[in-house]
Amino acid sequence: MADIIASDAQVEKGRVFELAAELFGVLSTPMRLRILSALCDQEKSVSQLLKEIDTTQPNLSQHLNLLYRSGVLAKRKDGTQVFYRVQSEKAVMLCRTVCTQIAIEMDEPGAVPASERLSPRVAP
């Protein structure tokens, strides 16, 4: 019986890592981080996002669709326009925290000890 309980705990722990890796995969492109940044404060239509983000409409739509399918974004249709908004505030908070830390490391590389840096590429 103890073996079954230990096995269940290992499977559950493995599933946690799988789901975390899946989320990191969804958030792993600069384009998707730009999209989240653009949607942090308010929902926007695809055309509004295209004005803010330098990309093509098909590329933007592909990234929006992936973020939507993963549950990070929500969408609504109003006539012919599609509006996107943040669905997962926690995912946005995670991105904001990481991006803010890396920006600090870039702006003040000597001020952040090596043991506290997120980005090994930013050298003091």
Digit-by-digit pLDDT tens for the chain (124 residues) are 555 555 566 667 788 889 989 999 999 999 999 999 999 989 999 999 999 999 999 999 999 999 999 999 999 999 999 999 999 999 989 988 988 888 888 888 777 888 888 877 666 5
Query: Are residues 73 and 93 both part of a single domain?
Result: no
The model carries a pTM of 0.81
Total count of domains within the chain: 2
User: How many other CB atoms are there within 10 angstroms of residue 67's CB atom?
Assistant: 25
User: How many other CB atoms are there within 10 angstroms of residue 80's CB atom?
Assistant: 6
Structure tokens at 100: 């803010």
Query: Are residues 96 and 42 both part of a single domain?
Result: no
Domain coverage including residue 38: 2-87
Query: Are residues 107 and 78 both part of a single domain?
Result: no
Query: Are residues 104 and 82 both part of a single domain?
Result: no
Query: Are residues 10 and 34 both part of a single domain?
Result: yes
Query: Are residues 92 and 49 both part of a single domain?
Result: no
